[in-house]
Structure formats: structure tokens, C-alpha cells
């Protein structure tokens, strides 16, 4: 895991060593082990290395082909590099790194080598002969890649902050993406909160030369229409085999490794499989609290004992978290309503001497672990609801809001007011943080919804038939919340401590298989039933039957007490910006302070984070 950067000038004349050095410096936390630069006429590449495989200097980057034609900077891991090395047995390798295998695979097979890669990656490869730059991002978007382009040059980096450090442009707020952030506590790729900076989409690659930039899709989530089903016993066996292989691939490392363990189904499954395939005891890390309302310690200990792990409990008092919160906010590369939790556990894991850790991220998305799966499925069975006149539906929604005030009732009322109720219109509402009335109430002028989430929902619907509706929801979850909140936060918060996170549930072979399993076998009659049935011999009933908690902290209390002054300072700064309405922001804050059930802490915190981030980075 590393940080990469670079600048390509279309005229291919200037030297951009200084701005790339500035970008490298901004990425130092991602790669403290080495700093590398390559420059040629019109092209400069930068790399910050975090050594995971082949710790010697031979693995430093940029890495060059023997004839000097190719230069490569690479962020991530190719998990099957040993298998590819066997296919390239006639090549005289000079290192033990996966970077060299990737370079030689490109030389041998060209862009076709991408289909052979199993890993998480973002890389740039310069072809000196063709004077062409290739940029590639992995299938599921585990590793980020941000880009900036004008009529003179093209720049890229692993983080937005690195692009801004280049001083190639004056960063400004992307007002067209502001509504997206307010609704969903993030900005959906390819857009970002910074105008003129965008993300390369997952499964995409770019070809850049003097004539311009070509964007090519090299992988996409699979269709699941009328796929032939195996029997349930065969499906369980295949799920287990694929997940076990994904875990085993991710244990290839030349540094100490561990796993995040909450004691939930997903992290417990990963730890159990790690114990099966690892020849050494597994290091596990859990955050614990004195307050049992927030602590999952008893479940994590149960799993640690069962699999004989070397267990580390990160005993966290509210004061500890609050002390680290400023640093967590400073580590944010892109504003988000989430993230500090991962910062805390990553910090403790790194301090314990671990450089690489496995995470259970992705299990909920693949195996219907969120409430939205059942909600959307139930709604899909009630197509008759569109035959009810809209005014009658709206009236019943208003009654619901009065009888049971709260966020859930507000969202249902919004659904019932829709002209047409379907997954593509229901799903965006279900994921909203602030509802439309609240969004427009804190803005100085209306901002239209860019429709990013609705677009992804429609794409998901088009890729699946009625027998795979749960895969429709999975597809939408993967492309929205998972890729644009969970993965982005996990990357920036773990890399703030130079800790590499690996996510076995996002092995593309497992993703492709799971998305083509029909609802008959995947419906969560019990939490993530297919996954727990596939791992029945590993997971104790106490873990399977426990209530879903998630990683929760007493934010409501903090924001009304210890963090109140900080929150008010940030919200006042936001209110002074021309895009926002000061009275609207104050009304929202006062509603939160008065325990209005429609304004929970998670509706206000993303605004605090946004204000802090914009000020920190001097975004006009």
C-alpha cells in the first residue's frame, strides 16, 4: 500500500518535478518507507512506499523495465502475483515484489493482463515508446485515484490533498455536488467536493497521450438474469471455498498482520478463516468501552478465545476518543459523515506493530446484512401501491408523521408522496441523511439533486431480473454507500497511520458469484443466513443470533456537551458561506439541541465536518 502521483503535459515539454515532489510530500503518511520520482519530457511520476512485500530497496518505485520503455508507480497489492509469476517463468525477475510481476505482466499481455489480476490497486504506467500514460483502478474501487485535467495538463494522485498541494489549480467548492453531500454525507464518484477534481471510477482505465484522454471500462458488476441455480448445499460450499481462498490470498505479506474484530458475523468469519489457513496465531484488535451499551467486547472475546488469537483490546474512554478527534478530522482527505472510528482502531493496530490488517467490510453488501434489503424486497412485493391515488398516499403519510414523529416516518411520508414508487425512487430516499425539506432549508438557494444515487439504482435494476432482486440492492449498495463512504473512509483513515487494510469479502470472484445467487437462497430469514449457513461450523450461535450493534459512540451526548463549542464554531463558519442560509442552519442545530426526533446527531455532524474541512483546506 502506497501513494502515487503524477503529471502529464499534453505538449510534452515541461518539467513538473517540483509539483510532483510537493504531491509526494503530501502523501508521506501513506508511504513512509521510500520517496521516488521519475521525470521525462512532459511526464513526471511520484511514489511513496509502504513496504509490505519484498521489503528490500529493490522493490522501490518508480519501477522500470530493463529496456527503459516502461515506468510504473503502483498503489495496492496483487494477491495472485505468485501464480502470475509462474505463468511468466521465462522472465528473469530481479525482485520478489508484486510490483515487478505487474510490470512484466503488462509487458507480456498489455491491457489484457488486467483480467488476470486479483487485488486492490491503482497504478500509472508510462510507455516511453508510445508516449502514452495508462491509469488503472481496481474492480471494486478499494484503492482511490483522483484526477485533475485542464487544456494543458493531466494530473493524478491517491488523495485530493496531494492534488491541491501541487498548486496546479485554485481549489474551489464544487457547488453542483453540494446537494449530494448534504443528502448522503458524501459525494458520489466521479464527482468530488472540489470543483475540477474527480475520481477515476472503479473498473475503469484511462489512456492519456498528446491527443487527449480516453476512458475505458475494463470490468463491471455482473448481470444476474436467469442464471442457473445450484442447489443450496452446493452454493454454501462454494461461498465458503471462495471466501476461504480470498482470505488466504490476503495473508501473503512480509510484515506482521492482524484483523479487526468487532465480534459481529463478518469480522468473526474472517478471523475464523484466517485461523484455518494461517500457520501462526492471528492478531486481533477490538475497541472496548466501559459502558456496556456501546461495547461489543464480550462477543470479540468469545471469538478470540475460540480461535486462540493474540487478542488486543483497545480500551477507549470517551475522553480518549475526544482527544484524538482533531487528528482524525485532519486525516480526512474528503469530508464524510463517518471515519473517526476507523482512525482510532487503525492507530492502535499500528502502535501494536501491525502493518497490514484484514477487515470484514463488504459482508453486509453481499449477503443482505442491512435493513434496506428486507425493506426494499417488501416494497417490491407491493406494486399495487402505485394504483392508490397519490393524494391518498400523501395523506396517509402525513398521518403517520403526526402519529409517530421521527426520521423513519418522515422518509415513509416522502416515499408515499412520490409520483411513482419503485426501487429507483425509494432507494435514494432510504439512504438520505437530510431529507429534501431540510436540505433546501439550510441552503441560500435551491440546488437540484444531481441524481447520482437514483442513477446507480436504475443501473442496478437493469442488470438483474425479478429472481435476483436482492442483487439489485447489493449492486446499489456497492456503488453508493460502500464505495463512496465505507471504502473511502477506510482507506484514508487507515493510511493516516500507514496501515494497509485488506477486504476479503470484496474479492471479485466472490462478488461475481454472490451477485448471481437467487433470492430463494440468499434471503436473510435470519441475519445473513447464507453466509452463516456456509460457515456454520466456524460461527457460534451467540455470534449469529446477537443483535446488530455496529461501532457506536455517544455522539449525541458529546455534541451537546464536550463538542458543543466546536460544533457551533464550525456551523457558524458554514452559515457565513454564500451557499448556505444562516437561519436555516441555526434552526437545524436548535432542533437537535431540543431532541427533535427528526434531527439526530448524524444529521448535523456531516455539516460540522464539511465546515471544518473547507476551512482547513482554504476552499473558496
CA-closest candidate to residue 160, choices 149, 174, 178, 148: 148
Q: Are the beta carbons of 21 and 40 closer than 8 angstroms?
A: no
Q: Tell me the CATH number of domain 2-217, given options 3.90.1150.10, 3.60.20.10, 1.10.3720.10, 3.30.200.20.
A: 3.60.20.10
pLDDT score for 243:
98
pLDDT score for 548:
67
pLDDT score for 402:
86
The separation between CA 144 and the C-alpha centre of its own chain, rounded to angstroms, equals 9
pLDDT < 70 regions, the chain? 1, 51-56, 58-59, 226-228, 289-295, 548-552
Residue 336, CA distances (Å) to 200, 223, 439, 568, 569 in order: 19, 30, 16, 18, 18
Residue 2 annotated among the catalytic residues of the structure: yes
Q: Report the predicted TM-score, pTM, of the whole model to 2 decimal places.
A: 0.94
Three-class SS of residue 184? helix
- Strands 257-260 and 283-288 turn out to be parallel
CA distance 414 to 354: 47
What would the DSSP string read from start to end of 361-405? TTHHHHTT-SHHHHHHHHHHT-GGGGGS-HHHHHHHHHHHHHHS-
Torsion-angle region of residue 133: left (phi > 0), alpha (psi -120 to 50) or beta?
beta
Residue 539, CA distances (Å) to 267, 362, 452, 505, 531 in order: 11, 18, 38, 16, 10
CA distance 470 to 454: 17
Catalytic residue of the set 2, 246, 316, 344: 2
Lookup result for grid cell 522472465: 91
pLDDT score for 290:
63
CA distance 389 to 219: 42
**Through-space distance between the first and last CA atoms of the chain, rounded to whole angstroms:** 32
pLDDT tens string 41-64? 899 999 998 766 656 676 677 999
CATH class of the structural domain 232-367+486-544 = alpha beta
The phi, psi pair for 21, rounded to 5°, reads: -60, -40
Domain ranges of the chain: 2-217, 232-367+486-544, 554-620
Q: Are the beta carbons of 358 and 274 closer than 8 angstroms?
A: yes
pLDDT score for 51:
65
Amino acid at each position: 500500500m502506497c501513494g502515487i502521483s503524477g503529471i502529464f503535459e499534453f505538449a510534452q515539454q515541461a518539467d513538473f518535478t517540483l509539483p510532483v515532489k510537493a504531491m509526494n510530500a503530501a502523501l508521506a503518511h501513506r508511504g513512509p518507507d521510500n520517496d521516488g520520482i521519475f521525470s521525462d519530457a512532459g511526464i513526471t511520476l511520484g511514489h511513496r512506499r509502504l513496504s509490505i512485500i519484498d521489503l528490500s530497496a529493490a522493490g522501490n518505485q518508480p519501477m522500470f523495465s530493463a529496456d527503459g520503455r516502461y515506468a510504473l508507480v503502483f498503489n495496492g497489492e496483487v494477491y495472485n502475483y505468485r501464480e502470475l509469476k509462474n505463468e511468466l517463468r521465462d522472465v528473469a525477475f530481479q525482485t520478489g515484489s508484486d510490483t515487478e510481476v505487474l510490470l512484466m505482466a503488462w509487458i507480456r499481455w498489455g491491457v489484457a493482463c488486467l483480467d488476470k489480476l486479483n487485488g486492490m490497486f491503482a497504478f500509472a504506467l508510462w510507455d516511453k515508446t508510445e508516449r502514452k500514460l495508462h491509469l488503472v483502478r481496481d474492480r471494486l474501487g478499494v484503492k482511490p485515484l483522483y484526477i485533475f485535467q485542464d487544456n494543458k495538463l493531466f494530473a493524478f494522485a491517491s488523495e485530493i490533498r496531494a492534488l491541491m498541494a501541487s498548486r496546479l489549480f485554485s481549489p474551489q467548492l464544487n457547488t453542483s455536488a453540494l446537494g449530494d453531500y448534504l443528502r448522503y454525507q458524501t459525494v458520489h464518484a466521479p464527482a468530488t467536493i472540489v470543483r475540477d477534481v474527480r475520481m477515476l471510477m472503479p473498473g475503469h482505465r484511462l489512456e492519456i497521450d498528446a491527443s487527449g484522454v480516453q476512458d475505458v471500462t475494463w470490468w463491471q458488476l455482473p448481470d444476474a438474469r436467469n442464471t442457473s441455480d445450484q442447489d443450496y448445499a452446493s452454493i454454501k460450499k462454494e461461498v465458503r471455498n471462495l471466501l476461504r481462498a480470498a482470505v488466504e490470498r490476503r495473508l501473503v505479506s512480509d510484515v506482521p498482520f492482524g484483523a479487526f474484530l468487532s465480534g459481529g458475523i463478518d469480522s468473526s468469519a474472517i478471523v475464523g478463516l484466517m485461523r484455518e489457513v494461517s500457520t501462526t496465531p492471528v492478531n486481533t484488535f477490538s475497541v472496548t468501552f466501559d459502558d456496556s451499551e456501546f461495547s461489543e467486547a464480550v462477543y470479540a472475546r468469545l471469538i478470540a478465545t475460540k480461535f486462540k488469537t493474540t487478542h488486543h483490546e483497545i480500551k477507549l474512554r470517551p475522553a480518549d476518543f475526544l482527544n484524538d478527534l482533531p487528528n482524525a478530522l485532519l486525516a480526512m482527505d474528503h469530508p464524510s459523515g463517518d471515519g473517526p472510528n476507523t482512525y482510532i482502531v487503525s492507530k492502535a493496530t499500528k502502535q501494536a506493530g501491525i502493518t497490514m490488517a484484514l477487515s470484514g467490510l463488504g459482508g453486509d453488501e453481499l449477503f443482505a446484512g442491512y435493513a434496506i434489503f428486507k425493506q426494499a424486497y417488501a416494497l417490491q412485493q407491493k406494486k399495487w401501491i402505485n394504483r392508490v391515488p397519490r393524494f391518498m398516499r400523501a395523506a396517509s403519510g402525513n398521518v403517520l408523521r403526526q402519529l409517530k414523529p421521527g426520521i423513519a416516518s418522515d422518509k415513509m411520508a416522502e416515499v408515499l408522496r412520490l409520483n411513482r414508487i419503485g426501487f429507483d425512487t425509494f432507494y435514494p430516499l432510504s439512504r438520505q441523511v437530510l431529507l429534501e425539506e431540510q436540505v433546501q432549508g439550510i441552503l441560500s438557494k435551491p440546488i437540484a439533486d444531481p441524481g447520482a444515487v437514483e442513477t446507480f439504482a436504475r443501473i442496478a435494476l437493469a442488470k438483474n431480473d425479478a429472481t435476483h432482486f436482492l442483487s439489485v440492492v447489493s449492486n446499489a449498495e456497492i456503488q453508493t454507500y460502500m464505495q463512496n463512504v465505507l471504502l473511502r473512509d477506510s482507506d484514508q483513515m487507515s493510511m493516516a497511520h500507514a496501515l494497509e487494510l485488506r477486504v476479503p469479502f470484496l474479492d471479485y470472484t466472490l462478488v461475481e458469484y454472490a451477485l448471481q445467487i437467487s433470492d430463494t437462497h440468499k434471503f436473510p430469514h435470519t441475519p445473513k443466513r447464507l453466509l452463516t449457513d456456509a460457515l456454520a461450523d466456524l460461527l457460534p450461535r451467540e455470534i449469529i443470533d446477537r443483535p446488530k450493534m455496529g461501532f457506536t459512540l455517544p455522539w449525541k451526548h458529546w455534541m451537546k456537551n464536550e463538542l458543543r463549542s466546536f460544533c457551533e464554531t464550525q456551523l457558524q463558519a458554514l452559515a457565513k458561506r454564500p451557499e448556505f442560509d444562516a437561519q436555516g442552519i441555526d434552526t437545524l442545530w436548535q432542533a437537535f439541541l431540543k431532541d427533535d426526533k427528526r434531527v439526530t446527531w448524524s444529521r448535523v455532524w456531516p455539516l460540522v465536518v464539511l465546515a471544518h474541512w473547507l476551512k482547513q483546506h482554504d476552499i473558496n
